[in-house]
Amino acid sequence: MIYTVTLNPSIDYVVETYKLKIGEVNRANNEELYPGGKGINVSLMLNELKEENTALGFLGGFTGEYIENTLVSRGVNTEFIKLQEGLSRINLKIKDEDETEINGKGPRISEDELRLLYKKIEKLKDEDILVLCGSIPQSLSNTLYEDIVSMVAKKDVKVIVDATSNLLLNTLKYNPFLIKPNIHELEEIFKTKIGSIDKTIFYATKLKDMGAENVIISMGKDGALLVDEKGEIYLSNAPKGNVVNTVGSGDSMVAGFISGYLRTKDYKEALKLGASCGSATAFSSGISGKKLIDILKNEIEIKEICKINM
């Protein structure tokens, strides 16, 4: 079974307006609601790809009920911890000539509620897949991902981490199966500007040397780079299209990579499906459907660049 963990889910309230005027009443031209959170996005895309999965995390109040009901209606299994106090957050995304976001802080998670999540994690079995994505609530320790990964370290569980800074770096000692920082997060990790493929390869390889089995660097319009467990380096292009919304694109890439790997055990094919899913979501108002993914997959080319010495 594939398990995704979203510690701070949200309702993403997307509003389109014309020339936002600060301090005045603005009228929406269009508005949409989506269940949000990186792990939730992974679950939704896995569901589109017919990969059974279970979404874990914390939900609170009427906003939490909306998130869960929406996921269930779309066929996603859910085993969220229901919070005794607080509401799952609402993230406001205002689109006009630019995009402005106001993200909610999220509810407080108690020690008892955290232990309930730990109990679910401890039940994972060999050959399960655990996906840890996104930020954590301010009430939880920044060692949380490290703590969770340590619980399954002695089992044959494939762990995937898509997070920033120390949330990601602290898990590397446990050799996660896959990590997927984007190019900006890679720059943040190593405190440098990366302006070339050669530098991207250099720093992606450093993350592999630090413990990750496979490393994907998503690069937006420049595609994606994969350094796999054998040291093979692959580069994916990005198909041409009208970018509608980048939220969930990287999460869709993670889901596509998981599905592609489970079906073929071939990293090149896994990257191809991952790139297709990521691009399809970027060209859609929400998580993309399968039809567009299949179309874009024909436009994805994977080039083997080189192999590093192991």
Whether 126 is catalytic is no
Which amino acid, 270?
A
Backbone angles phi, psi at 90, to 5 degrees: -115, 125
Q: Which residue has the tokens 């059974």?
A: 52
Burial 230-255 (b: 16+ CB within 10 A, else e): eebbbbbbbbeeeeebebbbbbbbbb
**CA 172 to CA 4: how far, in whole Å?**
18
Other Cβ atoms less than 10 A from the Cβ of 167: the count is: 19
- φ and ψ at residue 72, rounded to 5 degrees: -60, -40
DSSP state of 182: B
Half-sphere exposure of 263 (CA within 13 A, CB side): 17
- From 12, 162, 228, 251, active-site residue: 251
Catalytic site positions? 251
